[in-house]
């Protein structure tokens, strides 16, 4: 009787192991903040600095790094853009599989012409994106980006306080990472290489 019971228990445990198992992809060891599976930052509808309408689908097949800033930003924006330039340099030939997007949070002043001068000055492959104030607000909400105008000495002389991190999307356009401001170039290079496979 004990043998029958033991056999029954083994059979049940083996059958339990035969059920459908969800095979998960191995978890990548990112150095940046892992946002895999996040329910925000799905898509956008903006215009690039050449006047072409753009959505996330345009960049399928590339790892996308998206930064929100503005051309008259005195500190974090030029620093971040310079770091992203260095990231692409360190990626070497793989850099052609990466697209950096600069989304302005100052649609009133950042015209297509201004973005066309500012953004490619860091790297000719970088793309500047802009929209109407309403489009910018919608994208800001979708991407959980905080920005607010800080009045200056005149109506046109103001700064914009804004979120300072960059988002990284995989080749399928899925949000994967948050590159924190000030984390440096090395973690971004490491993590982008992992996403490039």
Question: How many other C-beta atoms are found inside a 10 Å radius of the C-beta of residue 74?
Answer: 8
Give the C-alpha separation, 98 to 85, whole Å.
11
Give the C-alpha separation, 146 to 140, whole Å.
7
Contact 130, 46 (CB under 8 A): yes
Which SS3 state, helix, strand or coil, does residue 107 take? Answer: coil
E-strand ranges in the chain read 33-34, 46-48, 53-54, 63-69, 98-104, 127-130, 147-154, 157-162, 166-169, 175-179
DSSP-assigned states of every residue in 64-88: EEEEEE-TT-SSHHHHHHHHHHHHH
Residue 18 is assigned to a ligand binding site: no
Please report, in range form, the residues annotated as the binding site for Cu cation.
73, 77, 162
Please report, in range form, the residues annotated as the binding site.
73, 77, 162
């Amino acid at each position: 009787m004990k043998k029958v019971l033991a056999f029954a228990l083994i059979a049940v445990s083996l059958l339990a192991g035969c059920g459908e198992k969800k095979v998960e992809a191995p978890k990548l060891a990112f150095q940046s903040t892992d946002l895999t599976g996040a329910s925000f930052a799905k898509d956008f509808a903006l215009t690039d600095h050449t006047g072409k309408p753009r959505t996330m689908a345009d960049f399928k097949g590339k790892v996308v790094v998206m930064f929100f800033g503005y051309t008259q930003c005195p500190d974090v924006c030029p620093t971040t853009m310079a770091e992203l330039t260095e990231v692409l340099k360190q990626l070497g030939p793989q850099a052609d599989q990466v697209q950096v997007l600069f989304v302005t949070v100052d649609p009133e002043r950042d015209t297509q012409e201004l973005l066309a001068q500012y953004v490619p000055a860091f790297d000719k492959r970088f793309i500047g994106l802009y929209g109407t104030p309403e489009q910018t607000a919608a994208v800001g909400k979708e991407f959980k980006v905080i920005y607010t105008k800080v009045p200056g000495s005149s109506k046109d002389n103001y700064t914009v306080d804004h979120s300072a991190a960059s988002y990284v999307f995989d080749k399928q356009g899925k949000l994967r990472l948050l590159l924190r401001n000030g984390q440096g170039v090395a973690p971004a290079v490491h993590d982008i290489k992992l996403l490039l496979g």
